[in-house]
Structure 1
């Protein structure tokens, strides 16, 4: 059975130093095999895992996240790819804030329409019928400007009919604008009426930012130039405000995936300034706690591979388990299985965790984290292989000195919210009472049906290492680790340790 080393290490007594050195050596070998598996299909997935873990960090304040991303955006050389991605998010979420900038610089859009009939028709041809539909977008700007400045530009309006329309007639019948030759009229305005492009009428049509979606690529490039070539104060104010008000998690999910590896390393170095692992963590199972601690202790960014591996073994246990069980990696899978077995055997020989910890603590901080992370993954891997039924779990608890209350339900509460004490029986003996298997299976199957499809999916997990228990083989317990207030189920082991 698996040795969990739950008792306090006896530093005075010592232990088998040869076994501990063997364990350390085997852990290094295991780390090498796992890393080769991770990068076999490229490093992109390992980087995505790291970005997801970073996005869970909760100690970064809104002002800090704004300073963090602005520092990256303004570092040399300019991060135009990052800026482009950020601008696209702002376009989607706050088009009006960008539209207000365009309204102040409406004259810049004169070139946007020159020689481009598609853009002209898309923006200026939305005339209404004068009854239920009103003029919209550029059509409204064109008609309003033409009336206000009719002495200046009315002759530049091109009509599809045999003759043109007078301002007086069109004022009483606005639907006549439907007969306007929009393309030729706008081309005339581009050549002969420059006043239109800086007019209030045209600027007003831009304020809601809807024009951004006519050609996203053009406007992204335009605003990148405003950021870096003109250093536009208005643009940077919009960016600063957005970076401070958007959630850190959302920013990370949308922006970090665009970074090259070198830029990601720079970001993590900047992030180190704000990480505070001394804050009370929500729980050691929280991935943000571990990534904060790793970043706080991780100074050697030249070994970026090490950081990717550290995050993978700590925060991606289940994904690694799937990876090493891939049918296309049979040789590596066999090697991992053999190393896990050797480590477990050496752990049984060592009998104490103290010498292993001593060996680890003599190394660098990041090496300690990696070795202990690999050690915990070995235990997780072995538990996934061995503990496939309620009986196995109870044997594990007993062999490791864990007392427990037993319950036959996944939930400790009945449907009416009451707790049935008769369902939980104190039992700390190595052997436990067994119910008739057929009756137990039927009862637990009914309970499982009420848990929904999510539980069924988690339990329908079959691999080369072994099959996790079907609903009829699972159990629920209260453990003695904190006065029987901690609940534990076979389901919880496989669900809480996943990092999708």
Structure 2
């Protein structure tokens, strides 16, 4: 049976175990093999996993996150790709801020429309019909400018009919603008009416930023040039304000994925200067917390490879296990399985982890957490292999002092039934089922009062939401490991328990190590 080591050892009795060197050697070998798997095809995935963990960091203030990304944007060589991605976020979430800047440079958009019928029609063809609410976008700007400046530009309006329309006629019947040949008219304005492109009417139509979505790539490049070629104060102010307002999580998810590895390392170095994990809370249940500790304590010499691997074994155990199982090198897969078995076999005694924990007190932060992370992932691997039945899980709980209850939350199986299931007979069955379920719940509450650690449950059916809900003996459990707050299935248990072990061990080590680290 797998030992989870959830009882804190007696540190004074945790003498030097002769086999500790052997187990550390096994852990180091496992580290090497896992890294081989990651580097052979899973490095990009491991990088994405690390980005996800980084996004959960909570100790950075808005001012700090602004400084991190601004420093990265201004670092050499120029980060045009990063800037373009950030601007796309601004376009999507706050288009009016970019629109205000475009409106002040409206004259530059003459070249945006020149020789591009698609853009012309998208922006200037929004004339209202007889019952419409009014012209919109460029159509509104075109009509307003044409009326105000009819003495210089009315003749440039091209009409589809046999004859043109007079200003007086169109003034009384604005829907006549629907007969305007928009493409030819705008092309005429490009050639002969330069005043239009710097007019208040045209600028006003741009302020809401809707024009950005005609071609976001063009405007992304346009703003990147304003940032780096013209060093536009207005653009940098918009960027700075956005970096203060947007959540750190959102910025990480959108921006880190496009960074080259060298720039990613620069980013890690930048946040290291600002993060300040609260050692009092020791929130090791959150993978981002220990990562904050690592980054705040490690030096620039620490390699990104160590971070990628450590993050993989401690916060992405299930994904890493899947990656290992998909590994094409069969010999390497067999080696990993064998080493994991040796690690777990060497640790069959309930107090056999104590020497490793004590050894961690004398090692660097990164090295110690790597050992415990690899140990916890080994447990993840073994649990997924060894515990295949409800009986095996319950035996594991009992042997490791974990109180449990059979969950009353049902695993839902969606068989794709049609809407015809929503009949009156089904509704009656649903009401009867709910009454029976309520009776069972009352009985379960009485049973739980007598026994906090165990409760079994019979097969149950629920027709709600056009689905059949089944709860068999192979269902799920509520565990004392998280205060009975979540229903854990056999699929999720290996990951939950391995993370719980890692969190528990880290609390022990850091409670004794706090003065050192």
- Name the TM tier (shorter chain): 0.7 to 0.9
For 1:98, the equivalent position in structure 2 comes to 98
For 1:299, the equivalent position in structure 2 comes to 299
For 1:420, the equivalent position in structure 2 comes to 445
User: In 2, are the aligned partners of 1:141 and 1:201 still within 8 Å (CA)?
Assistant: yes
Shift of the alpha carbon at 1:327? 6.8
Shift of the alpha carbon at 1:454? 12
SS class of match (2:160): coil
For 2:194, the equivalent position in structure 1 comes to 194
| Separation in 1, partners of 2:186, 2:211 | 16
**Relative to structure 2, which stretch is displaced further, 292-301 or 85-94?**
292-301
Shift of the alpha carbon at 1:28? 0.5
| Separation in 2, partners of 1:350, 1:282 | 25
| Separation in 2, partners of 1:161, 1:331 | 78
- CA offsets 1:165-222 (integer angstroms, 9 cap, x no match): 3222222232332333322322222222211111111011111111111111111111
TM-score, length-scaled by structure 1: 0.84
Shift of the alpha carbon at 1:107? 0.9
Once superposed, what is the RMSD of the aligned Cα atoms? Answer: 3.4
For 2:88, the equivalent position in structure 1 comes to 88
For 1:363, the equivalent position in structure 2 comes to 363
Which of 457, 460, 465 is equivalent to 1:446?
460
For 1:137, the equivalent position in structure 2 comes to 137
Q: Work out whether 1:112 is the aligned partner of 2:112.
A: yes
Shift of the alpha carbon at 1:35? 1.3
User: In 2, are the aligned partners of 1:55 and 1:248 still within 8 Å (CA)?
Assistant: yes
Does the C-alpha gap of structure 1 residues 340 and 425 become closer, same or farther in structure 2, counting only changes over 3 Å? farther
Unaligned runs of 5+ in 1: 457-469
User: In 1, are the aligned partners of 2:158 and 2:164 still within 8 Å (CA)?
Assistant: yes
SS class of match (2:473): helix
SS class of match (1:407): strand
User: In 2, are the aligned partners of 1:409 and 1:444 still within 8 Å (CA)?
Assistant: no
User: In 1, are the aligned partners of 2:377 and 2:498 still within 8 Å (CA)?
Assistant: no
For 2:30, the equivalent position in structure 1 comes to 30
| Separation in 2, partners of 1:323, 1:266 | 28
**Relative to structure 2, which stretch is displaced further, 66-75 or 484-493?**
484-493
- CA offsets 1:100-133 (integer angstroms, 9 cap, x no match): 1111111111111222222222222222234435
| Separation in 2, partners of 1:452, 1:32 | 50
- CA offsets 1:282-331 (integer angstroms, 9 cap, x no match): 84221221221221223245521111001101111111222222374432
- CA offsets 1:346-396 (integer angstroms, 9 cap, x no match): 223795333223434433221111111101111222223233344334433
Q: Work out whether 1:407 is the aligned partner of 2:396.
A: no
Q: Number of matched residues?
A: 470
Shift of the alpha carbon at 1:224? 0.6
For 1:181, the equivalent position in structure 2 comes to 181
SS class of match (2:382): helix
SS class of match (1:250): helix
| Separation in 1, partners of 2:325, 2:216 | 44
**Relative to structure 2, which stretch is displaced further, 87-96 or 156-165?**
156-165
- CA offsets 1:224-268 (integer angstroms, 9 cap, x no match): 111111122221222222222222111111111111111111111
User: In 1, are the aligned partners of 2:5 and 2:350 still within 8 Å (CA)?
Assistant: no
Does the C-alpha gap of structure 1 residues 14 and 187 become closer, same or farther in structure 2, counting only changes over 3 Å? closer
For 1:234, the equivalent position in structure 2 comes to 234
| Separation in 2, partners of 1:451, 1:172 | 57
Q: Work out whether 1:387 is the aligned partner of 2:387.
A: yes
Unaligned runs of 5+ in 2: 411-436, 500-517
For 1:41, the equivalent position in structure 2 comes to 41
User: In 1, are the aligned partners of 2:381 and 2:494 still within 8 Å (CA)?
Assistant: no
For 2:203, the equivalent position in structure 1 comes to 203
Shift of the alpha carbon at 1:497? 6.3
SS class of match (1:472): coil
| Separation in 2, partners of 1:92, 1:370 | 40
**Relative to structure 2, which stretch is displaced further, 164-173 or 311-320?**
164-173
For 2:422, the equivalent position in structure 1 comes to none
| Separation in 2, partners of 1:344, 1:156 | 84
User: In 1, are the aligned partners of 2:146 and 2:154 still within 8 Å (CA)?
Assistant: yes
Q: Work out whether 1:272 is the aligned partner of 2:272.
A: yes
- CA offsets 1:445-486 (integer angstroms, 9 cap, x no match): 428999999998xxxxxxxxxxxxx9414564664x89x878
For 1:316, the equivalent position in structure 2 comes to 316
